[in-house]
């Protein structure tokens, strides 16, 4: 059997951002509407700083309004919530994202609950989860949304397919399973207590691995021809000792890529698969939120 086709998430994300930029330009020209995204970063976690900078740059690159609020690590919860409420009320802002993780003294559940659900572009609030589970219009967590776009692009109609999602987090596994269910898949959610995970996976036309355990999913877990979406990211020191000594890392997914590629029909690589979709979907959610706010969607 031929090797799996590689699902190129970077190319898809580039195309998605280009389509978003076109739509932003026509919203501005026809309705005077510029979608706006506000990102709030508390503290100086180096990884979060990189993510927040990338989000700001990509927001501007598609022609949207971008605001970044950088708050001190010792910011009080009431001050953070006051900022969220100010952004909720700001008509130039259609999406608000509070970068996680927050410093330990801040409760992310309380902060996320303060977000206007119609601006919750990370899809993390209880109301967003409830809307998704109830099939109501809402905003969906960006990474699962990106996985769905890649699956639809590769497979077309997903009706009737057996899908196995490994992982049940609120951020990833649960919304992924809901989206697959909405697409008329038969969905199994597996987790750390599931029995005989290899046998569960072998039933699947679609496997979405969202665990965070490097190369856990082996080639012989995959049904021939299945689509494999690898969400997991584990960082290891770079292979080159000099690069490793300089602190460089390499990313490894949850799927043993070479083995799985020999069996699967489609597979996402790590890096270059799901990862690039996340910020592109954040922009998509901001566009959706702006259009809904203005009665255009
Ligand atoms: P998480 O909250 O740690 O959840 C991990 C899930 O994996 C849990 O539901 C856990 O089950 C399950 N699990 C752990 N060990 C398992 C095992 N041996 N067999 C089966 N299931 C097992 O992580 P997350 O936030 O969902 O993220 C998952 C991975 O995706 C991480 O590597 C993360 O870095 C990556 N990620 C990537 C992107 C991206 O942009 N590409 C975005 C988000 C997340 P229990 O519930 O039973 O503990």
Tell me the per-residue pLDDT of 28-72, one tens digit each, with 9 for 90 and over: 999 999 999 999 999 999 999 999 999 999 999 999 999 999 999
pLDDT at position 106 is 98
The residue from 118, 120, 122, 205 that is catalytic is 122
Q: Is residue 131 part of a domain?
A: no
Q: How far is the CA of 107 from the centre of ligand 1 (A)?
A: 21
pLDDT over 70 for what percent of the chain? 100
Q: Is residue 38 part of a domain?
A: yes
Distance CA 10, CA 150 (A): 11
CATH number, domain of 45, equals: 3.40.50.10860
Alpha-carbon distance values, 41 to 68, 220, 234 (Å)? 8, 42, 23
Q: Is residue 296 part of a domain?
A: no
Query: For 71-126, how does the pLDDT look when each residue is reduced to its tens digit (9 = 90+)?
Result: 999 999 999 999 999 999 999 999 999 999 999 999 999 999 999 999 999 999 99
Active site residue 99: yes
Ligand 1, atom 35, lies closest to the CA of 232
Are 152 and 51 found together in one domain? no
Atom of ligand 1 at shortest distance to CA of 234? 32
Alpha-carbon distance values, 161 to 21, 80, 156, 157, 260 (Å)? 33, 44, 11, 9, 19
The conformational region for residue 136 under phi > 0 = left, psi -120 to 50 = alpha, else beta, is beta
Ligand 1, atom 16, lies closest to the CA of 192
Distance CA 271, CA 138 (A): 29
What are the structure tokens assigned to 269, written together? 């690589």
Active site residue 220: no
CATH number, domain of 184, equals: 3.40.50.720
What are the structure tokens assigned to 275, written together? 């990862």
Q: How far is the CA of 264 from the centre of ligand 1 (A)?
A: 22
pLDDT at position 1 is 66
Active site residue 122: yes
Cis peptide before 159 (omega within 30 of 0): no
Query: For 134-158, how does the pLDDT look when each residue is reduced to its tens digit (9 = 90+)?
Result: 999 999 999 999 999 999 999 999 9
Are 106 and 186 found together in one domain? no
DSSP-derived 3-state class of residue 208: strand
Q: Is residue 135 part of a domain?
A: no
The answer to whether the beta carbons of residues 99 and 40 sit under 8 Å apart is yes
Are 270 and 147 found together in one domain? yes
| CA R_g for the chain | 20
The answer to whether the beta carbons of residues 4 and 33 sit under 8 Å apart is no
Are 45 and 93 found together in one domain? yes
Atom of ligand 1 at shortest distance to CA of 194? 20
Find residue 228's DSSP bridge partners: 207, 267
Distance CA 114, CA 28 (A): 29
Domain that holds residue 252: 142-276
Are 265 and 152 found together in one domain? yes
Ligand 1, atom 23, lies closest to the CA of 211
The residue from 99, 116, 161, 230 that is catalytic is 99
pLDDT at position 144 is 98
The conformational region for residue 99 under phi > 0 = left, psi -120 to 50 = alpha, else beta, is beta
Are 111 and 147 found together in one domain? no
Tally DSSP H helices, then E strands, for the chain. Answer: 11, 11
Q: How far is the CA of 168 from the centre of ligand 1 (A)?
A: 7
Q: Is the pTM of this model over 0.95?
A: yes
Count of domains for the chain: 2
- Looking only at the bridges linking them, the beta strands covering 266-267 and 227-230 are parallel
């Amino acid at each position: 059997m031929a090797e799996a086709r590689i699902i190129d998430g970077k190319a898809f994300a580039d195309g998605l951002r280009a389509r978003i930029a076109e739509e932003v330009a026509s919203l501005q020209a026809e309705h005077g509407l510029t979608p706006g995204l506000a990102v709030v970063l508390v503290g100086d976690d180096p990884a979060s700083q990189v993510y927040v900078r990338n989000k700001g740059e990509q927001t501007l690159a598609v022609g949207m309004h971008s605001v970044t609020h950088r708050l001190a690590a010792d910011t009080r919860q009431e001050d953070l919530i006051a900022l969220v409420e100010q952004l909720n009320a700001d008509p130039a802002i259609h999406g608000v994202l509070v970068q996680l993780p927050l410093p330990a003294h801040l409760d992310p559940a309380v902060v996320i609950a303060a977000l206007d659900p119609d601006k919750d572009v990370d899809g993390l609030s209880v109301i967003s989860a409830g809307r998704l589970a109830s099939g109501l219009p809402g905003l969906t967590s960006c990474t699962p949304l990106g996985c769905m776009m890649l699956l639809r692009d590769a497979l077309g109609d997903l009706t009737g397919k057996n899908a196995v999602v490994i992982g049940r987090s609120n951020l990833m596994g649960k919304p992924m399973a809901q989206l697959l269910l909405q697409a008329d898949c038969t969905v199994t959610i597996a987790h750390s207590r599931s029995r005989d995970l290899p046998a569960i996976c072998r039933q699947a036309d679609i496997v979405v691995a969202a665990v965070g355990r490097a190369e856990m999913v082996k080639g012989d877990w995959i049904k021939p021809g299945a689509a494999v979406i690898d969400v997991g990211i584990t960082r290891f020191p770079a292979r080159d000792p000099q690069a490793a000594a300089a602190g460089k890392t390499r990313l490894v997914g949850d799927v043993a890529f070479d083995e799985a590629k020999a069996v699967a029909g489609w597979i996402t690589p790590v890096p270059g698969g799901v990862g690039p979709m996340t910020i592109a979907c954040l922009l998509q959610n901001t566009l959706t939120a702006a259009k809904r706010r203005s009665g255009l969607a």
